[in-house]
Amino acid sequence: MQKGWSIFFGVILLATFLIWFAAPFFGWWLPENISTFGGGVDNLFYAILGLTTFFFVLTEVVLVYAMWKFVDRGGEKSVYTHGNHTLELVWTAIPAALLLGIAIAQIGVWEKIKYQSRMPAPDLTVSVLARQWEWRMRYPLDNQQFHYEDEDQKAASNLKSRLWAENPNFDDVHAINELHVWKNANVKLWIRTLDVLHSFTLPNLRLKQDTLPGKTIPMWFNAEKSNCEFVVRERSTGKPVTLAFNSKTKLVEVVTPSGREPLEARVADLKGELETSGNKADNWEIACQELCGSRHYAMRGRLYVHADEKSYYAWLQYSRGAQKATSLEAAVSMR
Amino acid sequence: MSVSHSHTTETHAHPEMSILRKYVFSEDHKIIGIQFLFTGLIMLFVGGALALLVRLQVGWPNGTIPIIGRWFPASWGEKMSPEFYTMVFSMHASVMIFFVIIPWLTGAFGNFLIPLQIGAPDMAFPKLNMMSYWFMWPALITIIWSFFVEGGAAGSGWTSYPTLASAGMPAGSGFQSPAGPPSGYGQILWLVSLLFVGISSMMGSVNYITTIVNMRAPGMTFFRMPMSIWAMFITAILQAMALPVLTVALILQLLDKTLGTTFFLPPAGMAFGNWHTGPGGGQPLLWQHLFWFYSHPAVYIMILPAMGMVSDIISVFARKPLFGYKPMVYAIAGIAGLGFIVWGHHMFQSGMDPRLGTGFMLATIMIALPSAVKTFNWLGTIWGGNIKYTTAMLNALAFVAMFVIGGLSGIFMAATPVDVYIHDTYFIVAHIHYVLFMSSIFGIFAGIYFWFPKMFGRMMNETWGKVHFVLTFILANCTFYPMHIIGVGGHPRRYYDITIYDVFQHLQPLNVFMSVSAILLGLAQFIFVANFFYSLIWGPRAERNPWHSNTLEWSAPSPPPHGNFEETPVVYRGPYEYGHPDTEQDYAPQTDAKGPAVVAAH
């Protein structure tokens, strides 16, 4: 009867063990990773999961077994011992070595994600300004100004782009709760807040950074998978138009029989749309994860990773055109 | 020890005290401990009700709330408003941490056990002790009052991070907050309330340290003290060193909120809508450093005493000496020492320099080591024992089984890159509940079942105790374990409704399961309450030493009179001489001069 307690403990502990194997089959698991460094985070997660599972099984099996084996035997005395030096040394030294191993193994991934000195030269820079309860994104028309090839120019470029993030340019493109980037681009974000703490979190990128009033904080990522393409159609006929992209000047032009015209100038006649797969799993959401007031939960943004640079710049220049358009119709067409 | 002798005689000479002096404004450490116990029990139900409101909202974000929904303002449509929800989870944590766990562990058990287990007639400063309890009352009144002020109680989380918590209106324009209704008056009362809690705890800890250092009975050397006392001693030192920092931080935030100072306001100020606060000159991150410099050690304040009590209880019911007594003491000291240099692990994603994060990570990972040593020693203690499955023992073993989970899950968030992903998700919520509920609360239950006979002179009902234990163990695991899984799925903390997110909404069935379990878990606690109060009045009379335990409190009458011992006890050996091969009985009380030869503590 008394041994039943050991079984009771065993069953509960076994259930907590098994749920880890069942959860992935129900989809209750890490969401798909799309960033270059996310794999490192996931590997570390699995390594720690393996190690902690080993120690969980070890200690709980010993506990349950001891509860079974050493139940009150009536009359008989228990083993009289105050401890064992060798055992103490063993069970201190082995975990110490393993813990030190984990500690050292993770430094590289952390440095890669967060250290400003390790961040790569940006292909794209975005300013993110948080407030209760939205993410205000701002995109420069010219990304070349912050790009550099030589590491010596890194500090100067960083300063220049931070100053841009803190001081908007007249021709910047604005979008609320929408972060646009393209596949395989090194994206640099400068995040700030107008009011309280927020946390820019993108589970699919394995990325998180709190905003701090008074501070402009750098972040970076590189998405390996895309989830959208920007398609431009004739407003009257609905037919897709052909776009030409100059990878040097980053200018997107509409190709017509009569010649080429900048997309930005033709916004009034055209309608641009983001085409996505419609698949829920491809909706990569930005979730605020630092309490910022009552609508904290509703501070939701979305990441659009364009298939290529051309699609991104088409979106950017189309949005720029719509933003500056004077006609109401064009302004509405910006979505 | 002649002083304590005369004190005992003196109390015997004046047995008649008014009821008010004996039970209300008592200077007797046992009464004060019991006062803390009852206060904590009442607040447990306040905190528990708040927890159930959280679970109702998270489980059924679009549903109306039965019965209490009708009391809500008509505009909410019998649902919780998001403002109300932020208030509910903030106050759940605040109440549980500052009004349940800390008062129970240090206030109730610290007070009750310290003089009894070291053989002292009372605390070193009985009046200070009384004041430490009565300073809880302004705190209680303020925190309860805060639910009824404009905007409701504080809703900035139990961590009260600026600038959400600290932003105020310009001088003279009232105490509403531009950041949200629950950050106004309620937040000010929260700060005031915590200041009183801090004063109360500080009085307690000074008293505990002095008592343990100066008032041990003859023969009670430091290394003959039971683990409960070691844990309380180190906890009191932690409190005495960390609390001033929290007090300072609370005062600074109070000044920011009431006098318009800008300690936590950034130089450029902030904009709420079209309104600008004007320039600041402080730093929001400073609060996080000050707060966690206290609150991380506080996490250990909330577990170390339970560890100590569990060590004692396991040894008694395994009928076996505690395995590795000295390593256990050093492990507690190690946890406490390292506990002061790991606060930054709460701030890995805060915008603190990431290089600092690397340093805090190293210290944090290493704190798993003393915790592991403690676990292995508990297992060593039951190995080869003669385990008696009393309700107290079952709760103590549950502590060990669950602390393993809570400890191991901590390694995930100590790893900075993994923390990037799981920070502020339900994985953290799971971790804190495995440490604070599944460990501390099981430790507290173990302590109550174990010391109830000494506190009240009656035994609790074992059968109902076991029913309560079985239900609590199952339901608490059903409530808290799946939080690990939804945390891995990325489910954020403190969300009013996750179903609006494509990336999280598939986790909702688990939320419903946890909410149902939580409600049943709450109901199961009434078994405990019924058993507690029934036994208090009708329980069978307890003998002096019902568990055949060695420590000093069991050599006093049950319940001990004012002054505790009939004569000052003399201690001949350590507290864990169970199952000694040279003696007939399987235990040897510390006061028994004839027991087995004195064995040097290992």
DSSP code of residue A146: G
Give the tens place of pLDDT for each residue, B434-443.
999 999 999 9
Between residues 519 and 578 of chain B, which touch chain A (CB distance below 8 Å)? 576, 578
- At residue B12, the pLDDT reads 47
Look at residue A119 in the predicted model and tell me its pLDDT. Answer: 94
Structure-token pair, residue B543: 């003998």
Interface test mutation site (partner A, options B488, B491, B505, max chain A beta carbons within 10 A): B488
Which of B477, B494, B500 shows the shortest C-beta gap to A16?
A: B477
How far, in Å, CA of B540 to CA of B140, rounded? 34
Greater confidence, B9 or B505? Answer: B505
pLDDT for residue B9: 42
Residues of B in contact with A66 (CB under 8 A): 379, 382-383, 385, 387
How far, in Å, CA of B193 to CA of B203, rounded? 16
Query: Looking at CA atoms only, how far is residue A177 from chain B in angstroms?
Result: 14
CB B242 within 8 A of CB B298: yes
Q: Cα distance from A255 to chain B (closest Cα, Å)?
A: 37
User: Rounded mean pLDDT of A243-269?
Assistant: 91
Cβ B415–A44 below 8 Å, yes or no?
yes
Which chain A residues are Cβ-neighbours of B506 within 8 angstroms?
A: 27-28
> Is residue B595 predicted with pLDDT exceeding 80?
no
Rg of the Cα trace of chain A? Answer: 28
HSE (side-chain half, CA atoms, 13 Å) at B28 = 22
Q: Cα torsion at B379, B385, B387, B388 (round to 10°)? A: -130
Whether B179 and B163 have beta carbons less than 8 Å apart is answered as yes
The reply to whether residue B500 touches residue A297, judged by beta carbons under 8 angstroms, is yes
Task: Determine, for residues B412 and A211 on separate chains, whether the beta-carbon distance falls below 8 Å.
Answer: no
CATH of domain A125-228+255-333: 2.60.40.420
Ordered alpha helix ranges (H), B462-507 = 462-480, 482-488
| B465 phi, psi to nearest 5 deg | -60, -40
A52-80 pLDDT, tens digit each: 999 999 999 999 999 999 998 877 888 89
Which pLDDT band holds residue B15 (cuts at 50, 70, 90)? low
Does residue B455 carry a pLDDT above 90?
yes
Q: Name chain A contacts of B401, Cβ cutoff 8 Å.
A: 9, 13, 60, 63
Q: What phi and psi, each to the nearest 5 degrees, are found at residue A254?
A: -90, 125
ipTM of the complex: 0.94
- Using the predicted structure, report yes or no on whether residue B14 has a pLDDT greater than 80: no
Give the mean model confidence (pLDDT) for residues B277-286. Answer: 90
Burial of A160 (0-12, 13-18, 19+ CB in 10 A): middle
| Contact check, Cβ <8 Å, B417/A40 | yes
Chain A residue with CA closest to B391: the answer is A5
Q: Give CA–CA dist A247/A245, Å, rounded.
A: 6
The pLDDT confidence band at residue B2, using thresholds 50, 70 and 90, is very low
- Check if the beta carbon of residue A153 is closer than 8 Å to that of residue A91: no
In B, residues 452-481, which contact A (CB 8 Å cutoff)? 470, 473-474, 477, 481
Residue A251: predicted pLDDT? 94
Å from A72 to nearest chain B CA? 4
Provide the pairing of β-strand A270-276 with A284-288.
unpaired
A295 CB neighbours in chain B (<8 A) are: 82
pLDDT score of A334: 46
**Confidence grade of residue B360 (pLDDT, cut at 50, 70, 90):** very high
* Percentage of chain B modeled with pLDDT above 70: 96
What DSSP line would sit under A207-236, residue for residue? EEEEE-TT--EEEEE-BSS--EEEEEEETT
Q: What is the pLDDT of residue A326?
A: 55
Average pLDDT over residues B211-223: 96
Contact B424 A197 (CB under 8 A): no
Q: Domain-by-domain residue ranges, chain A?
A: 4-69+87-114, 125-228+255-333
User: Does B192 score more than 80 pLDDT?
Assistant: yes
Mean pLDDT of B232-239: 96
Mean pLDDT of B317-343: 95
A28·B489 Cβ contact <8 A: yes
What average pLDDT does range A306-325 have in this prediction?
92
Q: How far apart are CA B553 and CA B91, in angstroms?
A: 37
pLDDT in tens, A80-128: 999 999 999 999 999 999 999 999 999 999 999 999 999 999 999 999 9
Residue-level pLDDT at B280: 86
Helices (H), B367-390: 368-382
Q: Which CATH architecture has domain B303-533?
A: Up-down Bundle (1.20)
A169 by DSSP, 3-state: which? coil
Residues of A in contact with B487 (CB under 8 A): none
Phi-psi group of A228: left, alpha or beta (phi > 0 → left; psi -120 to 50 → alpha; rest → beta): beta
User: Residue A330 above 80 pLDDT?
Assistant: no
Contact state of A297 with B421 under an 8 Å Cβ cutoff: no
* Any A CB within 8 A of B493 CB: yes
Residue B405 has its nearest CB partner, among A56, A100, A197, at A56
Interface test with A, best of B183, B411, B419, B472 (most A CBs within 10 A): B411
* pLDDT given at position A328: 53
What does the pLDDT read at residue B279?
A: 85
Supply the pLDDT for residue B21. Answer: 79
In degrees and rounded to multiples of 5, residue B283 shows phi and psi of -155, 115
Using a pLDDT cut of 90, give the percent of chain B over it: 84
Q: Report CB contact under 8 Å: A28, B485.
A: yes
**For testing the chain B interface, which of A195, A209, A221 should be mutated: the one with the most B CBs within 10 Å?**
A195
Q: Say which DSSP state B544 is in.
A: S
Residues of chain A with C-beta less than 8 angstroms from the C-beta of B601: 82
pLDDT digits (tens, 9 = 90+) for B510-533: 999 999 999 999 999 999 999 999
Mean pLDDT of chain B: 92
**Contact residues for B202 (Cβ-Cβ < 8 A; gap 6+):** B239, B240, B243, B244, B247
CA distance B404 to A54: 12
Residue B544 pLDDT class (50, 70, 90 cuts): very high
Please choose, from the candidates B287, B295, B293, B279, the residue with its C-alpha nearest in 3D space to the C-alpha of residue B255.
Answer: B287
**Interchain pair A30, B488: CB under 8 A:** yes
Looking at chain B from residue 327 to 356, which residues have their Cβ under 8 Å from any Cβ of chain A? 327, 349-351, 354-355
Whether B82 sits inside 8 A of A107 (CB atoms) is no
**A78 Cβ contact list (under 8 Å, min separation 6):** A70, B318, B319, B320, B384, B385, B386, B578, B579, B586
> Any idea where the domains of chain B sit in the sequence?
32-270, 303-533, 541-602
Tell whether the model's pLDDT for residue A335 goes beyond 70.
Answer: no
Three-state SS for B65? coil
Distance from B4 to chain A by nearest Cα, in Å?
33
Residue among A21, A62, A82 with most chain B CBs within 10 A, to mutate: A82
Beta carbons of B167 and A77 less than 8 Å apart: no
A1-5, A30-34, A82-86, B181-185 — which one is most confidently predicted on average? A30-34
pLDDT at B195: 97
Residue-level pLDDT at B564: 93
Residue-level pLDDT at B16: 67
Mean per-residue pLDDT, B60-76: 87
Percent over 70 (pLDDT), chain A: 97
Nearest-Cα distance to chain A for B488, in Å, is 6
Produce one character per residue of B548-577: b if its CB has 16 or more CB atoms within 10 Å, e if not. ebbbbbbbbebbbbbbbbeebbebbbbbbb
Which residues does chain B have within 8 Å of residue A203's beta carbon, measured at their own beta carbons? 421, 490, 503
Is domain B32-270 given the CATH code 1.10.10.10 in the classification?
no
At A332 the pLDDT is: 54
**CB contact B91 to A (< 8 Å):** no
Q: How far is B409 from chain A (nearest CA, A)?
A: 8
8 Å CB contact of B496 and A206: no
Q: What is the DSSP letter of A148?
A: -
pLDDT value for A118: 93
User: Which residues in chain B are contacts of A283 at CB distance < 8 A?
Assistant: 502-503
CB pair distance less than 8 Å for B164 and A292: yes
Using the predicted structure, report yes or no on whether residue B13 has a pLDDT greater than 90. no
Chain B (190-229) residues lying within 8 Å, Cβ to Cβ, of chain A:
none
Cα B272–B274–B276 angle (5° rounding)?
60
**Per-residue CA distances from B130 to A119, B123, B138 (Å):** 58, 10, 14
Q: How much is the pLDDT for B7?
A: 44
Chains A, B: CB pairs < 8 Å: 346
Type and span of the H or E element at B141: helix B136-145
- CA separation (Å) from B323 to A83, A222, B260, B551, B601? 5, 52, 56, 16, 10
Residue to mutate among A134, A201, A294, with most B CBs inside 10 A, is A294
Task: State residue A294's pLDDT score.
Answer: 93
pLDDT in tens, B547-573: 999 999 999 999 999 899 999 999 999
Are the C-beta atoms of residues A30 and A92 closer than 8 Å to each other?
A: no
Using an 8 Å CB-CB cutoff, list chain A residues near B584: none
Cβ–Cβ below 8 Å for B349 and A209: yes
Residue B4's pLDDT is what? 43
Mutate to test the interface with A, among B342, B349, B378, B508 (most CBs of A within 10 A): B349
In chain B, residues with a C-beta closer than 8 Å to the C-beta of A15 are: 477, 481
Question: Scanning every residue of chain B, which has its alpha carbon at the shortest distance from the alpha carbon of A113?
Answer: B417
Residue B10 C-alpha, separation from nearest chain A C-alpha, in angstroms: 41
Per-residue model confidence (pLDDT) at position B597: 61
- What burial class does residue B470 get, using C-beta atoms within 10 Å of its C-beta: 0-12 exposed, 13-18 middle, 19+ buried? middle
pLDDT value of position B166: 92
